Every structure is written in structure tokens, then in C-alpha cells.
Structure 1
Amino acid sequence: MYKFTLLCTFLCSFLYAQDFTPKNIFTKQDSLRGSITPERIWWDVKEYTLDVRVFPKTKSIKGSNTITYKVLKPHQTLQIELQAPLVIDSIIQNKQKLSYHKIGFSHFINLIKKQEINASEKITIYYHGKPKEAVKAPWDGGIVWSKDQNGNNFIATANQSIGASIWWPCKDHPADEAESMQITVTCPSPLMDVSNGRNIKTKKNKDHTTSYTWKVTNPINNYGISLNIAKYAHFSEIYKGKKGNLDCNYYVLPNNLNKAKEHFKDVPKMLAAFEYWFGPYPFYEDGYKLVETPYLGMEHQSCVAYGNKYLKGYLGYPMGTSEWGKKFDFIIIHESGHEWFANNITCKDVADLWIHEAFTSYSETLFVDYHYGTKAGNEYAQGQRALVKNDRPIIGTYNVHHEGSSDMYPKGSLMLHTLRQIINNDKKWRNILRGLNDEFYHQTVTGNQVIDYINKKIKIDLTSFFKQYLTTTKIPTLVVKQKKDGIYYTWENVVDDFKIPLKIYLNGKEKWIIPKEKEWKKIIGKYQQLKIDENFYVRLKEL
């Protein structure tokens, strides 16, 4: 068991390796990337029309992006991002070539036409180059250039942390999502591209290439946009869901076709569980796709990347110490859970990335709960404790594109599991989860908005509870001491005003207490007979 636990911890560290060493000093580029600058705030992205030609032999790309935007207030400088070594060839608006200057990879475009409030405008950016190659995707972002076992090109993008501007020019900030998008990818035949949304056009070109055009009709975050190029085999099914028929399409390497048809049976199981807990799949119009990639996985909207080698668990091992983790393919369940938390509800600042990862990590528990029962779900959640590092706060630094600790995954999940116990009513808990996806449907939000919503629905102010788990590395500790007339208890290692109801068992009987820091309360009994409900992420300490 000890070796097994070490292995799980290693796998977790590998999975969550995108949690880089925290920065102590932020640069001008960090601020330009992470904040709503004056050159960003005045315009709202309506649609991206991306057209990219991929050259596998030289690992290079060439393309354009037309940005349709609405003018919110007058301004004559527009900021976009494009990361080196890619370079801009030209920028055109109304057939006029525009000048620009850059700071790092932020480009500031000088507009000639006067920008009028409420006007709809377009600007097209032409670019080319050899984009950064991802060495260890998805954590080291960029483009993966690889081969399948038959020697065919196997190419995909992965750019959550590093940003979409690593391969295409855009307003690279999570607060502003395009309301729709068209993606055209041209690649050598007989390779095909699979991108987000639905395929609306396929064109065979005279130069032995094929152009695939995909249309996304829902709002989409930048990092959720992808290209996936391979000699794919395809199969599909219809899932009869909460909003009718959902098209589920699967693109896999031909050698894995039969294996995938059996293994991907986890998809309808996932949809059944998550539509129950979270509400309807948020992108019926764009369908659901699971696409094999040369790296582990990523939550690309309506085009989930899959590379878990057709194994249960995480590369064959449970995530955490619970054997329930072997009952499902971790990547299918986790990355698909992001369709609700990350793609439907998206954080405005990556400092609040816990909105994506805490809820989605907890979706694994809810999947187990739905299919195997609440006891199994509880055991799965408790198995995540071994993965928590408590190295730094879960919330990062705002306005500088800085993520918090990777504890946003397991500790964030444990926080939500604790919240579920506090609510102590699964009907209400389910209504909150579904309500979040309804209230913030297709929106970008702050962490405070999510917390305020939950507080309002449960009619308890749990601001200090969220502060405890999200902004500190301290685990709440119930301190007890035995006296002749009973057990005295108080909180230790907590933030100010931390006060939650706590379920304990005394002499085998369930009892609820409300400890308070710096105040000793009494309960009749003996310490040896006291046990904290294991579904609360707290510790017990005897004086």
C-alpha cells in the first residue's frame, strides 16, 4: 500500500505539473497578459474566423484571423497577443494596412478608422512561422508534432497555461470569449483535421491538401480552441439527453478503432451522471467529440482531447488511493466534466482557476456516486487526501496571469465535498450545482460570484470557509481536551470567523457541533469515543 500511495502521489504530481513554481516578481508582460488593459476594455470579441495552413515537414504554420468586435467606447489602439517565434505579416482593416508596436508578445495596433460606440468592426491579422513545440504536452504548451505507429503525422495543440496566442493571434485573456467561431485548417491529404464545433465544409485542394472548416455556435474560451490532425477513423452515436439528441462523435487512430468502440462506453455513462448533477450538456448545438491526441488530454470545448491509452484510471492507476478510481477512464470523465466547469462557466482571471479544477475534480466523485452509490463516492473523495500538498494557496495573483497551487484539484475537491456535508441535503446540493450552470450559463465569472451564489442559496455566509481553503494552506483542526465533566473543543489553525457545523460520532452516535476559535465548548463524553466524519476535510488534535 505504501508503494501504491507513492505511485499515486507521483502520478498526481505529473498530472498537475502545470502548477509551476510561484513567481515572486511579475513583469510588464505579465501585467499586459493578465489584466484588462485600456487597449482591451473598449472592445468586445464577437467572432473569430481563423484560417490556418499546417506544414508538418517544416513544423510551421501560416494563416490569418479575422476578429469581429463591438466597440464599447471610443479608442484608437487595440491590443492582441501573438507569441514568438510566430510573426505578424500584416494587419488589415477596411483594406488599409495598419501599423503597430509590440511589448513582448503583446501587439498594440493603431487604428485609422474612428471607432464609434456600438459599431461592429473587423480586423484581419496575417501571420506565419514555427510555433513553439510542446515538449511535454499538455503541461508544456504549444503544438505537438508526432507520428502514429504507421508513420503518419499525428499533430495537436495544447495551450491552456501558455495561452492560445502560442499558435494564433487573439485577445488572449479569459474574460472575453468569442460568441462564435469558425476554424479552417488546411493539412496534407489524406490527413484530416478535427476542431471544435461541427464540420460545415471539406474542400480538396489541387496541391494535395484538404481544408476542413468547423463552426462553433456557442461562446468559447481561447484555450479551448484546438486543431487535431491525423489519419483518423471515425464512429458516432446519439445520446438521448436532457435537451434531446446529442451527437457524439469519436475520432481515433485506425489501429485503435475496435478498442475505442468498447472503451468509449464511459462517455454515455459520463453524460448520464453529469446531466443529473450539473444539468444538460452545455453545447448541444455544437455536439460532443472525443478526439485521440498524442498527449494525455485537455478540455477543448466540444472537442475533448484524449490520450489515456485506453486504460481505466489515470494511465492504468487510480487517481488517489481509492480503488474506485479504477472503475472509469480518468481522462474521459475529468476532461469532459470541464464542459460544465471551464467551458460553460469560465473564470475571468486564471487566479480563479479553481472554479474549473475544483468542481471538475469533484465531478469524479459525483460520477462514482451516481453509478456506484454515495458510500463509493465518499471513499473516492477521501482517497484524494493523499494528493494534497498544501504548498501554497489555491487562488493565484490577480491581473498577472498567475495560477494558484495545483491543490485546486484534490484540495478543491475535498473543499466541495466538505461543503456538501455542511449543506447536508443532496437535493439542495444538486440544485446548487445545476443552478450554477444555469445562472452563469455561457459566462465568464469571478470566484466571488460563485461564492456569493452558494452563500445565497444555502442561506449561510460561508465566506470564511472558502477563504480558509482557497487562500491559506492551513487545514482546520478540531482541538479537544478531556476533563472530568466532558470533552472541551475549539478550532485551531483557522482564519478569523471560521465557523461551520461539523458532524462527529460520539460513542457511535451521530452528533453535530459548531466549534468556534478561541472559545472552548463542552460536550458530554470521552475523547476515545469521539470521531470526526471523514467526509470533512479537517484534522483532529488532542491536548
Structure 2
Amino acid sequence: MQQLAFQKIGSLALLCTTLYTLTLFPTQAQQTSVPYSRQDSLRGSITEEREWWDLLYYHLDVEVDPRRKSIQGKNTVHYKVLKSYQTLQIDLQEPMEIKGFYQEGREMPYRREGNAYFVELELPQKVGEIHQLQVVYGGTPRISPNPPWSGGLTWEKDQKGRPFIANSNQGDGASLWWPCKDHMYDEPDSMLISVTVPDPLMNVSNGRLRKTEKPSPEKTTYHWFVSSPIANYGVNISIADYAHFSEEYLGEKGPLTLDFYVLRENLEKALVQFKDAPRMMRAFEHWFGPYPFYEDGFKLIEVPYLGMEHQSAVTYGNGYQQGYKGKDFSETGWGLTFDYIIIHEAGHEWFANNITYRDIADMWIHESFTTYSESLFLDYHYGVNAGNAYLQGARSVIKNDIPIIGDYGVNQRGSGDMYFKGANILHTLRQWIDQDEKWRAILRKMNATFYHQTVSTQDIEGFLARETGLPLQTFFDQYLRTAQVPLFQHYWKDDRLYYRWQEVVDGFSMPVTVSQNNLTHVLHPTAAWQSTDLLLPGRVFETDPNLYIFTQQIRAPSE
């Protein structure tokens, strides 16, 4: 489903085989020095062969062979014609292979360009019509060298030597293991995932288990139905000899099933550790509004890698320990009061699966808000000071290397600072608003406004500017489109405090709260020097530690 309007990529730009970037912000320079290829453009842009059809439904029907580490099957693509065109792009990455494209029982010719397949449809494609395309494929998908950061399949064993299998493919693309329209701007309205595995293994995927079938005495097919729009990278297969337990959470929209699938040897540990799941739900429904997928339920599934935000099927591999593999990013102790993977990956149900970036250059929309959700979890359960301390402490991991927004149209994300720097940016905005209930209402309205939609940075910026009533353009230009942190520079002279912003974009203006002798004052610095006599001359004062800024006292200039 194409939820929001998208930008058409000019054919001339697509012909570029070296340097290509579609930028929504002409003043933002390319972030990397490596020239982009035509494959980057075919993967990351909305090509003519993509834009003319609206994705409605997938039925992914595959058999997974753990012994051969292979996947064989088909994907039936249902789509609606938006404008007449005869060439349709489907993506599948090597070493997986397409065996044929079929429409109305006839095999369709196609041409291939790297990972992009261009199907030449013989049936006239008339505006408003709904058609199906069956894609038959198979092969041995790439094994992830470093999941989940490097995409692919992970094939491990449990303690009894039985297969333990899962996929992870954000960034690299779902087309690593199944053929699809591999761009984030368009999602199917719903999806059926049918996976056949050898007994006694079971497959757990997104949505709800509709039924199981026995295609042979030694195999079982699990049919999982997703009733909500879903991003390609969120489609999940998790295969093991799982133990299952569940509970019912009474949430804002009524009863919600929480289902847990874990290796049998870890069942007792999971019964304790997964108590963080209902705690997460209580905190995030408070801050963000109802869980976005009541119809599909919520699952937490053990996998042989750290974890991933697969929609309604969050995967978990944190070793049943607090923090991030036992580490507290903030070094305050607060990061060890929760299981990082449960809280962070489940937070993505609101920011990634409900509100989804249209281009990976805007990945900050997923990671900044979700990392910020960790502090809101602490805020809800332990108080505002706990959330504040967590974010302030985690600033030590921020690099300020390149801008948080990446390059558009080439499948390129921005800086890894989108996590904790992004969270601190949002926390800074909370201080500027200075009304916590208003901030909470904005976060809840944001999830309602963009419910099950793909969005751009401009969508989010515009929404926040309207809802806060604040002039936020230079705020976002500064924090998202440069790597520089605003520098609050000051000096004392003639019993007055002189102050200004440095290292900022033109027109940057954001208030700063300062404290001295238990009194607080709000200053309104710009890039030009200003002065005030509100503070006791020469005495120490403190800027609000919840603002992500740098401060510098300099010598007063001589006359």
C-alpha cells in the first residue's frame, strides 16, 4: 500500500552509473566519499518500474531445508495498476535465483540487471485493475557474517543439535532471501507467510497462526497471516524446536495476546526475563498510545542473534540478561534495570513498524525515537530523573562524525549517532516545549496521525512544528543535517554575562535555561552577542543538563 505521496525519480538520474543521490534537501552534501553505483540507485530509488503499481498483498510460500541451508518456493504478488505501464521491477539478491515469473498461467519474459529483475508483462495493465504475479525462486541465501548488522540467514544449533534458524536483513534488504518490491515506500496491506519445515521444528512468523498442514509425514507447514501493512525487512522466519508460553495483557484497546517462543533449554529463564514485556507495554502505551497491532498480537521469539524489530514478531537473543548483553550504555546503573533488547526492539513497534521511514536515509525516525523510548520506559517506571540520567550518561557513545540523515535514493543510512544523539535531540525538544503532558500528547498523536504509514523526515518535522507551535526548521537543520553540536559561548564583562551560539546553521535560535543559586533564568541566544544582568556577576552557573549542547567560557574581548 502506497500510504503517502512519493517523489518520482527522473529517468536521467537513473541512468547515472557512478554518482547518484536523490536528496530532498538540496543544501545537504553527500555524506560518503564513495561514488554510488547504478545498483545502489535501482535498490534505493522509486524507479519507473516500481512507481506505476501499488502493492496490495503478498503470499510468501516457501520450504526451508536446514540440511542444505536452502529456501525454495514462490511469492505471489497482488497489485493495483496506478498508471499504464508494462515493465515491473522485482528484486532478488544473489545467490538466490529466479526460476520464473507467471501471470494468468503464462510465463513472462524478463531481463535482469544485477539484483533487479524487470518483468515484461504481456497482459495490458489498465489503471485501476488488480493483478497477480507469481514469482518462483530458490537457492541458498547469503549467510549473515554478523547478524543483525549484516543481512542474511543465521543457521545455528540448539543444545540438542537441532536447527536454530532466523533471518535479519534491515538495510541489506528482504530480497536477500525472498523476491519482493524491495523499497520501503510501498507496503502490502496484508500478507500470508507459509513456511514448511521438517518436524519437530516449527516456524514462527509475523501475525497470527492461521493453521498448520502436513504436506508429508515428516514436515509441517505453518501459515501465519499479517492483517496490517508490513515493511519488507520486517517479514520474519524463526525456526527451532520451540517451547511456547503466553499471557494476556489488558491494554488500551482491550485484551492483547503476548506470545513467547523460546528454546526449550531456556524456558525457565524466559519465564522470568520476559516479564519485561508487559512492563514495556504499560510504559509505551502510556507515552505513545495503543500498541499498533492488536489484530496481529505481540510475540517475542528467541533467535540465534541479538535481536530485531520484526513486526508483531520481535526477535530476541540478549542471553537473558539485563542491559545490552550485560552492559549499560549510560554507565549510571539505570541501563541495567531492563533488558535492552526487549525494550528497544519492542519500542520499534511504534517507531519503525507503525511509523515507517520511506527512505533509509531517514532511518533516524526509527532509531532516534526508539532509543528515546528507553528513557521514557525509565521515566514511567522509575521517575523522570532516571530517564534524564540515562540519556545524559549515554552521551559518551556519541561520535558527531557525519549527519544523522543519510543520502537519498541510494539505500544509504546516516550516522550511527541516530541512536543516542537522536534520543538526546528529542529530549532537548522536550525541554524546549517544557510541558510534559503536551509532549506526551504529541507523541501519542504522532502515532495516530501516521498510523500504519510510511513517512519522510519532512513529514515528521512538519508535524512536530505544527503541534509544538515552535520554529523548528533550523533546530532540525542543525541537529539532523550537520554533525555539529550547538556551542553556547559566554564570558563576563562589566558585571554582565555575554552569550551567543557558535557552530550553528544560519538563523539557529533555541532558548537555554540556566541555573544559579537555586534560581533559573531563560536566555534566548542567537549567533550574535547578547548580554544580561540577571545573573550574579562572576558566579558559577549551569546550563540545563538535559539540553544536548556544548558550553564554552572564553575571555572577555579587550576594548
Task: Pick the TM interval, shorter chain.
Answer: over 0.9
Taking a change above 3 Å as real, the CA distance of residues 261 and 486 of structure 1, as seen in their structure-2 partners, is same
Matched-pair contact (CA < 8 Å) for 1:347–1:446:
yes
**Matching of residues 344-493 of structure 1 within 5 Å:** 344-493=354-503
Query: Root-mean-square deviation (CA), in Å?
Result: 1.0
1:4 is matched with none
* Displacement of 1:523: 3.5
1:165 is matched with 175
* Displacement of 1:418: 0.3
**Matching of residues 228-377 of structure 1 within 5 Å:** 228-377=238-387
Taking a change above 3 Å as real, the CA distance of residues 22 and 152 of structure 1, as seen in their structure-2 partners, is farther
Matched-pair contact (CA < 8 Å) for 1:246–1:284:
yes
Q: Does 1:87 align with 2:97?
A: yes
2:145 is matched with 135
Decide which of 168, 186, 193 is 1:183's aligned counterpart. 193
2:221 is matched with 211
Cα offsets for 1:406-451 (capped at 9, x unmatched): 0000100000000000000001100110011000000000011101
**Could you tell me how far apart the structure 2 residues matched to 1:56 and 1:127 are?**
17
* Displacement of 1:129: 0.5
* Displacement of 1:507: 2.8
AA of the residue aligned to 2:281: L
Cα offsets for 1:204-240 (capped at 9, x unmatched): 2325111100000000000000100000000000000
Percent identity, aligned pairs only, is 51
1:152 is matched with 162
2:522 is matched with 512
* Displacement of 1:321: 2.1
AA of the residue aligned to 2:292: P
Matched-pair contact (CA < 8 Å) for 1:515–1:521:
no
Cα offsets for 1:394-415 (capped at 9, x unmatched): 0000011100000000100000
Decide which of 550, 553, 558 is 1:539's aligned counterpart. 550
Cα offsets for 1:98-130 (capped at 9, x unmatched): 011111101100000000111110000000111
1:9 is matched with none
Matched-pair contact (CA < 8 Å) for 2:98–2:137:
yes
**Could you tell me how far apart the structure 1 residues matched to 2:451 and 2:394 are?**
29
Cα offsets for 1:159-180 (capped at 9, x unmatched): 0111000000000000001110
Q: Give the secondary-structure state (helix, strand or coil) at the position aligned to 1:205.
A: strand
AA of the residue aligned to 1:174: M
* Displacement of 1:317: 1.4
* Displacement of 1:320: 2.4
Q: Give the secondary-structure state (helix, strand or coil) at the position aligned to 2:216.
A: coil
**Could you tell me how far apart the structure 1 residues matched to 2:111 and 2:215 are?**
36
Unmatched tracts of structure 2, length 5 or more = 1-30, 555-559
**Could you tell me how far apart the structure 2 residues matched to 1:311 and 1:39 are?**
47
2:18 is matched with none
Q: Give the secondary-structure state (helix, strand or coil) at the position aligned to 1:383.
A: helix
**Could you tell me how far apart the structure 2 residues matched to 1:501 and 1:144 are?**
49
**Could you tell me how far apart the structure 1 residues matched to 2:443 and 2:180 are?**
32
Matched-pair contact (CA < 8 Å) for 1:481–1:527:
no
* Displacement of 1:23: 5.3
**Could you tell me how far apart the structure 2 residues matched to 1:288 and 1:330 are?**
17
**Could you tell me how far apart the structure 1 residues matched to 2:549 and 2:100 are?**
57
Unmatched tracts of structure 1, length 5 or more = 1-20
AA of the residue aligned to 1:537: Y
AA of the residue aligned to 1:542: Q
Moved more, 349-358 or 202-211: 202-211
Matched-pair contact (CA < 8 Å) for 1:480–1:527:
no
Matched-pair contact (CA < 8 Å) for 1:508–1:529:
no
* Displacement of 1:379: 0.4
AA of the residue aligned to 2:528: K
Q: Does 1:497 align with 2:510?
A: no
Q: Does 1:526 align with 2:527?
A: no
AA of the residue aligned to 1:76: Q
**Could you tell me how far apart the structure 1 residues matched to 2:33 and 2:460 are?**
26
Matched-pair contact (CA < 8 Å) for 1:504–1:533:
yes
**Could you tell me how far apart the structure 2 residues matched to 1:228 and 1:331 are?**
17
Superposition TM-score, scaled by structure 1 size: 0.95
Q: Give the secondary-structure state (helix, strand or coil) at the position aligned to 1:537.
A: coil
Count of residue pairs the alignment pairs up: 523
Matched-pair contact (CA < 8 Å) for 2:474–2:507:
yes
**Could you tell me how far apart the structure 2 residues matched to 1:253 and 1:459 are?**
50
* Displacement of 1:527: 4.5
**Could you tell me how far apart the structure 1 residues matched to 2:290 and 2:383 are?**
21
Cα offsets for 1:138-178 (capped at 9, x unmatched): 01110001101111100000001110000000000000011
Moved more, 263-272 or 515-524: 515-524
Matched-pair contact (CA < 8 Å) for 2:433–2:468:
yes
Matched-pair contact (CA < 8 Å) for 1:321–1:386:
no
1:33 is matched with 43
* Displacement of 1:518: 2.2
**Could you tell me how far apart the structure 1 residues matched to 2:531 and 2:73 are?**
68
